[in-house]
Structure formats: C-alpha cells, structure tokens
Amino acid sequence: MRLLPVVVTGLLTVAFAYYVYIPLPDAIQEPWKLMMMDAGFRATMHLASLKAWLGFDHYITSIRQSMDGFDGMVKRSESGAGVMPGVKVSDITFADIPVRVYEPPAGGEGHLRRGLMFLHGGGWALGSAKKGSYDAINRMLSDELNTVVVAVEYRLYPEVHFPVPYLDCLTAAKHFLSPEVLARYAVDPERVAVAGDSAGGNLAAAVSQEISTDDTMSVKFSVQALIYPVLQALDFNTPSYLQNQYIPILYRTLMVRFWLQYLGADLNLESQFMANNHSSLHHSKITPELRARLDWTVLLSPKHKKSYKPVIVEKGSEGVLKAVPGLLDVRAAPLLAGPEVLAKCPRAYILTCENDVLRDDGLMYARRLQDAGVTVTSDHYEDGFHGCLSFIAWPFEFDVGKRAVRGYFDWLKNNL
C-alpha cells in the first residue's frame, strides 16, 4: 500500500509532463517557460469549451474571465512593465468609440508631440488595451517618445462580427486625425502613426489603407507599424502556416477558428479552410490577379519558401465565397489590396517572427508594399514566436519580447 502514493504521483507527473511538453525549434530560448505558458492557455481553452458544452457561458466569455484573473496576478516589474507616474491616462470616447488616451508629461505647452493610435490583438475576440502588457507598453511609449497614444477598445466577437471591429477603429481614427482633436492634444499632424499587433495589425493595415485613399481626410497617418499582422484568409498552407502549425501560442487551427468567428462563418468549415478548399481554382471571383497578390512562391525569399509546395485545389467547397464574402474584402484581408492602394500607404514597419504561422503574411505584405514604392522596414526575429512582444514581465518574461519592444520603439523614434 505504501507504493500506491508513489505510483499515483509518478503517473500524475508523467501525465503532466506529457500535457506540457511540445517539441520546439532550437532557436526559441527558454523553451520550458513557453511550454508552461502554452499549457496554461490550452487548459484555459479546454475548460472554457467544457463550460460552453455544459451550457454555461460562451467559451470566449470564460477565456476572458480567466485572462482577467491572470492579469491581476502579473507582477509589474521595474524591468519594463511598471506604471509611468507622469503619464496621464483617460478613458473617454472618440465619436462614441471607447478609447484610452495616454498623454506624456513632457510637451503640450507650445510644443507639438507625436501621436499614435494603437489597436490591440486577440483574434478579434480577446484582449484589451487597458490591461496587462498592452497598457504597460503604451504607457512606456507615451513617456519615452513623448507621444499621445490612443488605444481603441473596439467591439469583439461574439458580440459582433466583421466589419464592426474595423468600422469602430476607422471611426476612432478619423476622429483622432481631425485637426481639432490633434490641436487639443498638441499633436503634430505630420507625425501621427497607426500601430497594432496580430488582429490589431490587421485592423491597422486596413484602416491605414482606407485613410490613405480617402481624399476627404486632410490629415493622414505618417507611418504604420504592424506587429506580426494577420492579413489574409485564402491560404492556410503557406510555408509558415505549415512549418509552425504546432508552435505556441497561435496554432494553425486556432487562427482558422479566429477567422471563421470574425467573418461570421460556420465553424464547421474549419477543415475546408485548412485544406484550402474555400479558395479552389473553380471560384471565378478569385481571379488570377487576386491570387498573385498572395502568391508566396513569388513574394517570399527562398529562405522562407524552403521546400514547401503550394496547396492549390482544383474544385473545392461550393458556395463558400457567397456565404463568407469577407474572405475577399480588403477591409478584412489587407494583403488583397491592389497596387494602386498600396502605393498611397505610409511608410511601414513590419515585425515578423520566424516561429509564427503569420510570418509569411507579414513578409508578403512587406514585399508588396515595397513593390508599390513604399519604404518598408522589415524587423524579423529568428527566435521570435507569436505574441512575444507581450511577454516582457514576470512570470512570462522573454528576452525576445524585450528586444521586440525596443525595436518597435526605436523605429518609431527614428521615423515618426
């Protein structure tokens, strides 16, 4: 009987290790820390799905509650995530859209300052610029770069679908860029940026395109900063989607689900999207010209194409494009915009991570912007993974996250 506790403990230890362990590329530093973080996220997802199956909250609601609890536990350290005491923070609305405004302690008295609109990530379903690392980074940016930062609290799934989040961001952007509002915050109209990470990078790119081509706007964004942005939903078999499909924290299946949710599509289409059946050759709306705009065999370097082959389906799912029109809407998929639109876009900073399913979205967009004559800075992290910019404080503090934040800040300092 004395052996029973030992056996049970051993079995539990093995089961825990089996659940936590996932093979990771050698380039990723502190792999066990990433594994533990990912295991916690997966456990949260599984518990949320169970609660939804039992008839409790929507699974996204449960995940949000868990994230709020974790956020309250996170220690704000002196290394980069502390509150900046001189930064004034106000929760207000811009044209009825909730925003958080960060005003730096310096400038504003006869001195014009930088301005930046930030759009947070989270798969158009999770996250808030008011919490955690988003809030900390925006405070640091406001203080260090003497910048008025406007973080938009756009509406999320399941409460809304596309195009509502995009329209919320566009409305807030137009309000911020109005001469009256810029003057109120002493922001230089020649030095206003839009930035975002992941789904926020998608929204930032789409809003930037719309503002750039809107002749009614007297002030436009000077630069755009896109941090591992998601930019298209027609090809889920790019080299990075296949290479990194099991790499935390954004699995290939999860990104497909985020897209289906955002576009208001049937979640049962997941397997069709994974196989590229939704973008097969028999869909006449996807013209050769449109396909060329995300042809990674042309747009990626040999280093990133490796030995992967394009997955092109001759005849796939019937009626998908009619049921999910957002797939071809440039407001949802900025990579599909024509060269005449891209040529009007502002200078760009695009951060990509080698170990991220969205790597190729960012790299292809950088190439297309450059081909259209836009100046682009590509900041690629070989040891980076999706979301790394957010992990700069205890208990999940990664050196690559700190370097990514510094690269983002330095580019803005030199280009905005």
Catalytic residue status for 46: no
Spatial distance between the Cα atoms of 162 and 124, rounded to a whole number of angstroms: 9
Catalytic residue status for 386: yes
Q: DSSP letters of 96-159?
A: TEEEEEEE-SS--SS--EEEEEEE--STTTS--TTSHHHHHHHHHHHHHTTEEEEEE----TTT
Instruction: Say if CB 281 and CB 312 are below 8 A apart.
Output: yes
Query: Would the CA dihedral through 230, 233, 234, 237 be positive or negative?
Result: positive
Q: How many CB atoms lie within 10 A of CB 105?
A: 13
Spatial distance between the Cα atoms of 129 and 165, rounded to a whole number of angstroms: 14
Question: Which residue do the tokens 């979205």 mark?
Answer: 361
Question: Which residue do the tokens 């566009």 mark?
Answer: 170
Active-site choice (62, 133, 142, 198):
198
Spatial CA neighbour of 249 closest among 28, 404, 73, 61: 28
Instruction: Say if CB 355 and CB 247 are below 8 A apart.
Output: yes
Active-site choice (135, 356, 360, 383):
356
Q: How many CB atoms lie within 10 A of CB 90?
A: 9
Q: Phi, psi at residue 227, to the nearest 5°?
A: -105, 115
Catalytic residue status for 356: yes
Spatial distance between the Cα atoms of 333 and 329, rounded to a whole number of angstroms: 6
Which residues belong to the active site? 198, 356, 386
